[in-house]
Structure 1
Amino acid sequence: MNSNIDKSLFQFLTELNENNNRDWFNDNKTKFQKIQGQFKIVFNQLLTQMKVHDDIENLKIFRIYRDVRFSKNKLPYKTHMSAALHRRKPQLRGGYYVHLAPNNESFIAVGFWDPNKDDLFRIRKELEMDASEFKSIIHQTELKKLWGNLEGESLKTAPRDFDKEHPDIELIRMKQFIFTKTFTDQEVMHEDFIHTVNQSFKAIRPFFDLMSDVLTTNLNGEPLI
């Protein structure tokens, strides 16, 4: 089986978007299982490449079935395929995500989507004390070339007990710390796609190394784990 992303993936997802119901999906389940098998081969190839330069605990390929229990959208299936690579916790922090969807809506993402309360407070305290290293890393030439600017949702005002006049309050207000990179359908199907993803993930390591250090030490630099 081909180790590249085949155009059949996007063709299937496009058809699914137009026929998002159980009858159609069941009629086309054999086709989906073949595509899913190829998807797993490709992403296990990515896992192998990632393990050369990072300590990856596991690869999670998300199911195509939507959890509609608490959603107003009752369509039963996702119209994308996605996977995440999990670093060894608690020593290593940060996550890798791949999202493939037709019509040039594919992207990869790295960072901290939903840091828990304690981790978010620790990051903010680090930025409050001295954000210079953080800013130096996120503005590195190679990182910015591949990933662009840091993204993520922010509070509208300063977090509780933080000075709203702090010079780095824009960073302190952030609730997420994410980088994203988009791809066209043609780029996803290119033979170098997985290599490109791997190299992009590798380039984010200075940011992950800093954040891992912050989240495993206190403000005095003493280990917490």
Structure 2
Amino acid sequence: MAATIQKNTLEFLSSLKEYNSREWFAEHKPAYEAARKDFILFLEELLENMQVFEPIAYGQQGKDLVFRIYRDVRFSHDKRPYKDHFGAFIAEGGRKSTKPGYYLHLAANNQSFVAGGLWMPPAEDLKAVRQEIDYNLDTFKGIVESIDFKKHFPELSGEQLKTTPKGYDKDNPAITYLRFKSWNAVKMLTDQEVLSSNFMDTVLDAFRTVKPLNDFLLQPLLDIGE
């Protein structure tokens, strides 16, 4: 039987969002640890299942994919000490990688989502990906505009330039995609979907669908390293 997310996990995240303080967190540390363990167990099985179609899943461990629950509030007006969600990133090089990858965001109140793509790459990588899209627009559109892709991810999201990227003409056929500074495919999930017995299949289906996008975005970054 596939791993599932327990109802208590979402309930903890819901309460954390409402009572986000160090005092409350200290009192509910056992609930946090149980929820985190639940998430990690799901990730362990997810990695095992992903190995069928994604080699980067080999050798990774669930606990290493999870971002810290503690917020960095040094430069933020929002002084809440904790994130109100669990997040995990699967990519070549681990959760701190700047390469394309797969992200699972677990949150209460229907705010969970699965995502893939490339988030805020360094300048050299950004330039290389734009060139790849410009040179291979038909291939890129064949991925992100396919019926199967749009079924999971209706449109790409990510920060975009308001102007035209340097070196490109505003009439470039690829300009819609060249303006992106991140290329993200995001699928929102309801609490009901997260807690269902087939949640593992839901995540795997989304990750399989986004793999061609990740592969496309990764190729020019590999060329940089050669």
Matches of 1:128 and 1:38 in 2, distance apart?
A: 43
Higher helix share: 2
User: 1:142 is aligned with what amino acid?
Assistant: D
Map residues 1-225 of structure 1 onto 2, 5 A cutoff: 3-56=3-56, 58=60, 59=62, 60-87=65-92, 93-217=99-223, 224-225=225-226
The size of the alignment, in residue pairs, is 217
TM-score, normalised via structure 1 length: 0.89
Q: How much does 1:3 deviate?
A: 3.1
CA distance in 2 between partners of 1:129 and 1:85 (Å): 28
Change (3 A) 1:61 1:88: closer
Structure 1 window deviating more from structure 2 (206-215 vs 118-127): it is: 206-215
Letter in structure 2 aligned against 1:153? E
Instruction: Return the alpha-carbon distance in structure 2 between the equivalents of residues 63 and 88 of structure 1.
Output: 17
Q: Hey, what's the Cα distance between the residues in 2 that align with 1:133 and 1:31? A: 47
Distance in 2, Cα, partners of 1:5 & 1:216: 35
Q: In 2 relative to 1, CA 33–88 (structure 1 residues): closer, same or farther, beyond 3 Å? A: closer
TM-score, normalized by length of structure 2?
0.88
Provide runs of 4+ in structure 1 moved above 4 Å: none
Letter in 2 for 1:95: G
Q: Which runs of 5+ in 2 are unaligned?
A: none
Q: Is the 8 A contact 1:3 1:38 kept in 2?
A: no
Per the alignment, do residues 207 and 12 of structure 1 end up closer, same or farther by CA in structure 2, a change over 3 Å counting? same
Using the TM superposition, give the Cα deviation of residue 121 of structure 1 relative to its aligned residue in structure 2, in angstroms.
0.7
> What displacement does 1:130 show?
4.1
Moved more, 179-188 or 11-20: 11-20
SS of the counterpart of 2:218?
Answer: helix
